[in-house]
């Protein structure tokens, strides 16, 4: 636990914008008993020294109840974000949309290079965050999505897919199992519809409550081979090497933050969910350890390069969950759930007729363009991104299983040559065995 406390030496980087209303800790979860000794060192992270950590951080007593979802604030995200993080990023040259999304730091190529050779930090606070609470929450989510929630314990996590009754894809959600709730991170375009869908399936006797906590939290991710070193330098090394979805709770400036293993792009890297009141402080702390800021424009390119399917593009009513290759999110041994019958038939009768691939292109191509091989249409391009050089073009697309595979050549649109390639996110997926867990 000493290492846990030590991490605050770096995260406590100064006072944030004062809250306009009084705040108090919610009462619904707990830390185990531990002791803490103040460290009298000051921390010159923001060009001036700060008081020692005990002035900012009060450890929770063993009997103090504590739940990280949602954090103890009742202001809209925008109110706090404008005073906390936006000032920081605009000073760094960020372009921010009217919706408050950081689009670019005018360093997209540098940030993409850092994904391969360093570490980037990305603000994904516009992604949806849903809190599912109540005594029946685990069984409810177990029945409404593809992962095995009943085998998970507090402090663990997983990916799960929300599908239609015929196993057509809606979205992939990242789930954290907390003491009194499950927190789901979903795409910004599906958050509302998923909440509506889940609410629809709550029956009268179900003890389940659904809350949208997107505006009550901020959310960052770390990506890149040096993300482990950043965690070590912040004394968060206890999470390095832990299974995907593992998460722990901390306090920064008296406000809650959850740090988890993995992110929306890969099983490597880390995720941070926190009160918006401390978002600016945490952001600066990560930058101080060498993380390069990345905007949403570069993030979308990274998503395509990595092969992570997205709602409205690769995840639609046209494609089922197995065609999308989301094997790591599917359990075959948990019994009935929405879409289970279709998934079982597809596996039993080898009914998956197409699959998602990466495609290295000779030029720009429009999503929706047909993919042909030997003069026959065999698929469709679903996403496109230009690379860091004029000659680098890449896309994602569904291709019939018997028509092409890794290394084969296809034509996209009228005359754009493409080479079918594996992409990291899909390469990590593996068909589950009948004895597997989530």
pLDDT in tens, 55-95: 322 223 333 333 444 443 334 444 444 446 777 787 778 89
The percentage of the chain sitting over the pLDDT mark of 90, rounded to a whole number, equals 66
- Both tokens of 367, joined, read 């999503």
Cα separations (Å) of 341 from 288, 351, 360?
50, 13, 35
For residue 52, the model assigns a pLDDT of: 32
Q: Give domain status of residue 340, yes or no.
A: no
Q: Where are the strands (E) in 339-433, listed by range?
A: 354-361, 370-373, 376-386, 393-400, 409-412, 416-421
Choosing from 280, 303, 326, the residue where a domain stops is 303
Q: What is the residue whose two structure tokens read 């949208």?
A: 212
Q: What is the pLDDT of residues 214-229, one digit of tens each?
A: 988 999 999 999 999 9
The CATH number given to whatever domain includes residue 104 is 3.30.1360.120
**Tally of domains in the chain:** 2
Rounded Cα–Cα distance for residues 67 and 256 (Å): 9
For residue 223, which phi and psi values (nearest 5 degrees)? Answer: -135, 140
Statement to judge: residues 371 and 250 lie in one domain: no
Q: What is the pLDDT of residues 348-393, one digit of tens each?
A: 999 999 999 999 999 999 999 999 999 999 999 999 999 988 899 9
Q: How many CA atoms lie within 13 A of 65 on its CB side?
A: 9
Q: What is the mean pLDDT of residues 276-288?
A: 89
- Between 321 and 30, the higher pLDDT residue: 321
Beta bridge partners of 292: 120
For residue 233, the model assigns a pLDDT of: 86
For residue 184, the model assigns a pLDDT of: 98
Rounded Cα–Cα distance for residues 186 and 172 (Å): 7
Statement to judge: residues 243 and 96 lie in one domain: yes
Evaluate if residue 345 carries a pLDDT over 80: yes
367 close to 382: Cβ distance less than 8 angstroms: yes
For residue 281, the model assigns a pLDDT of: 86
438 close to 394: Cβ distance less than 8 angstroms: no
The pTM of the full predicted model, rounded to 2 decimals, is 0.82
Q: Which of 191, 388, 174 is nearest to 301 (CA)?
A: 388
Statement to judge: residues 17 and 113 lie in one domain: yes
Q: Give domain status of residue 140, yes or no.
A: no
Statement to judge: residues 287 and 394 lie in one domain: no
For residue 432, the model assigns a pLDDT of: 56
Evaluate if residue 2 carries a pLDDT over 60: no
Statement to judge: residues 119 and 22 lie in one domain: yes
Q: How many CA atoms lie within 13 A of 115 on its CB side?
A: 20
For residue 89, the model assigns a pLDDT of: 81
Q: Give domain status of residue 102, yes or no.
A: yes
Cα separations (Å) of 403 from 161, 376, 406, 408?
27, 9, 11, 9
For residue 85, the model assigns a pLDDT of: 78
Q: Give domain status of residue 65, yes or no.
A: yes
Q: What is the pLDDT of residues 156-165, one digit of tens each?
A: 999 999 999 9
Q: Which domain holds residue 420?
A: 353-427
Q: What is the pLDDT of residues 102-139, one digit of tens each?
A: 999 999 999 999 999 999 999 999 999 999 999 999 99
Q: What is the pLDDT of residues 299-327, one digit of tens each?
A: 999 999 999 999 999 999 999 999 999 99
Statement to judge: residues 258 and 363 lie in one domain: no
- Between 31 and 1, the higher pLDDT residue: 1
For residue 84, the model assigns a pLDDT of: 61
Please give the mean pLDDT across all residues of the chain: 82
The CATH number given to whatever domain includes residue 399 is 2.40.30.110
What is the pLDDT confidence band of residue 265, given thresholds at 50, 70 and 90? very high
117 close to 299: Cβ distance less than 8 angstroms: no
């Amino acid at each position: 636990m000493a290492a846990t406390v030590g991490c605050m030496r770096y995260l406590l980087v100064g006072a944030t914008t004062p809250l306009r209303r009084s705040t108090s800790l919610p009462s619904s979860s707990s830390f185990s008993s531990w002791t803490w000794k103040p460290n009298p060192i000051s921390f010159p992270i923001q060009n001036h020294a700060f008081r020692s950590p005990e002035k900012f951080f009060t450890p929770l007593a063993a009997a103090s109840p504590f739940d990280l979802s949602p954090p103890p604030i009742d202001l809209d995200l925008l109110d706090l974000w404008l005073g906390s993080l936006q000032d920081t990023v605009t000073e760094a040259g960020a372009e921010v949309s009217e919706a408050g999304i950081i689009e670019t730091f005018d360093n997209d190529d540098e940030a993409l290079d850092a994904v391969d050779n360093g570490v980037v930090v990305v603000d994904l606070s516009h992604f949806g965050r849903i809190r599912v609470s109540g005594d029946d929450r685990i069984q409810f989510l177990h029945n409404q999505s593809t992962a095995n929630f009943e085998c998970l314990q507090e402090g663990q996590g997983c990916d799960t897919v929300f599908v239609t009754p015929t196993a057509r894809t809606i979205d992939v959600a990242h789930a954290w199992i907390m003491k009194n709730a499950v927190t789901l991170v979903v795409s910004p375009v599906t958050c509302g519809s998923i909440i509506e869908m889940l609410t629809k399936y709550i029956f009268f006797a179900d003890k389940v409550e659904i809350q949208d906590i997107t505006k009550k939290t901020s959310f960052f991710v770390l990506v890149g081979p040096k993300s482990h070193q950043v965690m070590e330098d912040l004394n968060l090394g206890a999470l390095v090497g832990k299974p995907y979805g593992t998460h722990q709770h901390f306090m920064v400036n008296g406000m809650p933050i959850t740090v988890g293993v993995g992110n929306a792009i890969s099983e490597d890297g880390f995720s941070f969910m926190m009160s918006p009141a401390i978002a600016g402080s945490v952001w600066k702390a990560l930058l101080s350890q060498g993380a390069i800021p990345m905007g949403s424009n570069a993030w979308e390119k990274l998503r395509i390069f990595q092969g992570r399917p997205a709602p409205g593009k690769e995840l639609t009513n046209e494609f089922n969950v197995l065609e999308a290759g989301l094997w790591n999110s599917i359990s075959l041994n948990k019994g009935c759930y929405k879409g289970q019958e279709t998934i079982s038939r597809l596996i039993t009768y080898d009914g998956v007729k197409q699959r998602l691939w990466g495609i290295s292109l000779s030029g720009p191509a429009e999503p929706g363009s047909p993919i042909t091989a030997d003069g026959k249409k065999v698929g469709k391009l679903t996403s496109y991104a230009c690379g860091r050089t004029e000659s680098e073009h890449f896309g994602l697309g569904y291709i019939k299983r018997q028509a092409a595979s890794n290394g084969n050549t296809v034509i996209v649109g009228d005359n754009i040559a493409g080479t079918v390639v594996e992409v990291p996110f899909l390469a990590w997926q593996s068909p589950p065995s009948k004895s597997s867990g989530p």
